[in-house]
């Protein structure tokens, strides 16, 4: 007979403890601890288990069947690209984002397209079947999609055993629940157990599963981050959700590279792919004012041109403000220090705001030179030469360092008509690049 013990964990963040706590030490939520019993195997049970498992279970690498798995194509080339070239059967993908980002819209569009491969089930826990139907009509979906308006995941999975679908969409993980887990829908226990049940189903049957997860304001999946560890692929909508454009980025991918993005435009009939994001992020700006610099960046595996903007103004308070939007705050601080010490720009009494236009987050060091040029241009109130672009990493002594894929960055910039390129290939340090750009 196995003994049972209890473990306590926080409903808000998943923190585990051996005893009940009034306040979570990790997320500081009050009264958020739930108890969960678990069976401790007895010594006899362990002995039986190890005797049973005595046969060799490890298989030599060469003997494993590496049958190539054919990926499903959603028919949206950009979306398939983010996943690494299509949807892997049996994979579980989490699509996260704030409300209104377009998660349901995107998945309904993809569900409709996947119907040509076999049965596709859309589990709607948030909306009624009639609401899904209305949306599908608006999106012009005319496919034999199966809609299951049910939040009891046990009932859904039982029905799925008979349906044998190629793809399953669960919208959203926060609304479904399992009767065996003693907690409310959306709690850490339910989210974890439901995800595990979905993983088990997908791996066993080869059904590709998409899970929708709502994200709280601070960017965490409401409830636990542990969902990210369980699933194969994590995609998040980033940037603003109020405008026309939506950016979907791969944060984790067991079947492809991370940081891959695809861009959509939200129209009255759903999301349309944007095939050339560079043109979008630079849209409609022939003449650039001071403080603006085009940067040839690499996002995922492809070059994308973005506009870095800076605004430098005299500070009216004692401590100047430094604000980075869609850029790394620490990089901005370092670039300011380099400009101050190595270029002799006295920014100590100035507020500096730096931002990437269009909502795309750019984290790579290759954006350094672009930020430096934008700040210098705003500080001297002189625009950079027309049709110019920049890339390059800044060292602490003011030197410019080469970055990866510089040929591809330059080619993308030239393709879009940027003739003057500021890069480590031409300038040894940031001071000479600034002198040349603002001469
Ligand atoms: P939705 O997909 O429901 O977002 P989520 O599931 O991530 O919460 O809807 C996203 C927004 O897009 C919503 O505000 C309505 C709007 N929308 C359109 O502009 N056009 C459309 O065709 C659809 C279906 C939605
Ligand atoms: Mg939704």
Q: What would the mean pLDDT of 73-101 be, rounded to a whole number?
A: 92
Confidence of residue 11 (pLDDT cuts 50, 70, 90): confident
Question: What is the Å distance from ligand 2's center to 126 Cα?
Answer: 7
Kindly report whether the peptide bond that precedes residue 172 is cis, defined as omega within 30 degrees of 0.
Answer: yes
What whole-number percentage of the chain has pLDDT above 70? 91
Mean pLDDT over each residue of the chain, to the nearest integer: 88
Which residue CA neighbors atom 1 of ligand 1 most closely?
Answer: 102
**Residue 353 φ then ψ, to 5°:** -115, 135
Question: What is the Å distance from ligand 2's center to 349 Cα?
Answer: 46
Q: What would the mean pLDDT of 128-149 be, rounded to a whole number?
A: 95
Domain assignments of the chain as residue spans, ordered by start: 3-49, 68-275, 283-437
Please give all residues whose CB falls under 5 A of ion ligand 2, grouped by chain where several chains appear: 104
Q: What would the mean pLDDT of 23-33 be, rounded to a whole number?
A: 85
Q: What would the mean pLDDT of 306-328 be, rounded to a whole number?
A: 92
Structure confidence at residue 46 (pLDDT)? 64
Whether 68-275 shares its CATH topology with 283-437 is answered: no
**pTM of the predicted structure, to 2 decimals:** 0.82
Q: What would the mean pLDDT of 137-156 be, rounded to a whole number?
A: 95
Segment 202-257, tens digit of pLDDT: 999 999 999 999 886 665 555 546 688 889 999 999 877 777 889 999 999 999 88
Which residue, among 200, 196, 172, 185, has the nearest Cα to 90 in the 3D structure? 200
Domain 283-437 has CATH 3.40.50.300: no
Residues with CB under 6 A from ligand 1: 97, 99-105, 135, 138-139, 266, 268-270
Structure confidence at residue 223 (pLDDT)? 54
Q: Choose which residue among 98, 105, 240 to substitute to test ligand 1 binding: the one with the highest number of ligand atoms within 8 A of its C-beta.
A: 105
| Ligand at shortest distance from the CA of 96 | 1
User: Which ligand 1 atom sits closest to the C-alpha of 269?
Assistant: 22
Report d(CA 86, CA 276) in Å as an integer.
19
Cβ neighbours for 242, distance < 8 A, ≥ 6 positions apart: none
What is the H or E stretch that residue 135 is in?
helix 129-138
Structure confidence at residue 284 (pLDDT)? 60
Contact 110, 76 (CB under 8 A): yes
Q: Choose which residue among 95, 99, 100 to substitute to test ligand 1 binding: the one with the highest number of ligand atoms within 8 A of its C-beta.
A: 100
3-state SS, residue 54: coil
- Residue 327: is its pLDDT beyond 90? yes
Q: What is the CATH number of domain 68-275?
A: 3.40.50.300
Report d(CA 207, CA 285) in Å as an integer.
46
- Residue 67: is its pLDDT beyond 90? no
- Residue 146: is its pLDDT beyond 90? yes
Which of 36-50, 74-88, 139-153 is least confident?
A: 36-50
3-state SS, residue 61: helix
Segment 384-401, tens digit of pLDDT: 999 999 999 999 999 999
Question: What is the Å distance from ligand 2's center to 352 Cα?
Answer: 38
Find how far residue 72's CA is from the centre of its chain.
21
- Residue 265: is its pLDDT beyond 70? yes
Question: What is the Å distance from ligand 1's center to 270 Cα?
Answer: 7
């Amino acid at each position: 007979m196995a003994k049972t013990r209890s473990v306590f964990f926080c409903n808000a963040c998943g923190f585990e403890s051996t005893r009940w706590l009034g306040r979570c030490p990790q997320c500081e939520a009050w009264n958020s601890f739930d108890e969960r019993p678990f069976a401790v195997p007895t010594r006899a049970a362990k002995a039986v288990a190890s005797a049973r498992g005595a046969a060799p279970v490890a298989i030599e690498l060469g003997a494993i069947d590496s049958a190539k798995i054919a990926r499903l194509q959603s028919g949206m080339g950009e979306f398939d690209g983010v996943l690494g070239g299509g949807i892997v059967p049996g994979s579980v993908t989490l699509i996260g984002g704030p409300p209104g980002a377009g998660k349901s819209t995107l998945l309904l569009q993809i569900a409709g397209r996947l119907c040509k491969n076999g049965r596709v089930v859309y589990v709607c826990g948030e909306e009624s079947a009639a609401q899904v139907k209305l949306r599908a009509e608006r999106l012009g979906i005319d496919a034999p999609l199966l809609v299951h308006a049910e939040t009891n995941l046990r009932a859904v999975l039982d029905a799925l055993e008979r349906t044998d679908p190629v793809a399953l969409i669960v919208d959203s993980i926060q609304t479904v629940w399992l009767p065996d887990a003693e907690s409310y829908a959306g709690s850490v226990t339910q989210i974890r157990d439901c995800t595990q049940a979905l993983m088990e189903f997908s791996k066993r049957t080869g059904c590709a599963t998409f899970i929708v997860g709502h994200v709280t304001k601070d960017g965490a999946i409401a409830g636990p981050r542990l969902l990210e560890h369980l699933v194969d692929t994590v995609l998040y909508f980033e940037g603003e959700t109020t405008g026309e454009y939506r950016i979907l980025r791969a944060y984790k991918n067991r079947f492809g590279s991370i940081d891959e993005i695809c861009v959509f435009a939200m129209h009255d009939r759903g999301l349309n792919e944007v095939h050339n994001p560079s043109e979008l992020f630079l849209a409609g700006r022939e003449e650039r004012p001071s403080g603006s610099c085009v940067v040839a960046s690499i996002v995922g595996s492809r070059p994308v041109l973005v506009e870095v903007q800076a605004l430098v103004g005299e500070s009216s308070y004692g401590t100047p403000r430094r604000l980075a939007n869609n850029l790394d705050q620490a990089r901005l601080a370092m670039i300011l220090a380099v400009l101050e010490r190595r270029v002799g720009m006295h920014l100590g009494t100035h507020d500096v705001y730096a931002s990437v236009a269009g909502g795309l987050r750019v984290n790579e060091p290759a954006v350094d030179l672009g930020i430096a040029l934008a700040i210098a241009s705003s500080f001297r109130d002189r625009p950079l030469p027309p049709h110019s672009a920049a890339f390059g990493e800044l060292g602490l002594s003011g030197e410019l360092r080469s970055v990866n894929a510089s040929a591809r960055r330059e080619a993308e910039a030239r393709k879009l008509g940027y003739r003057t390129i500021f890069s480590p290939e031409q300038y040894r340090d940031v001071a000479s690049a600034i002198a040349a750009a603002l001469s």
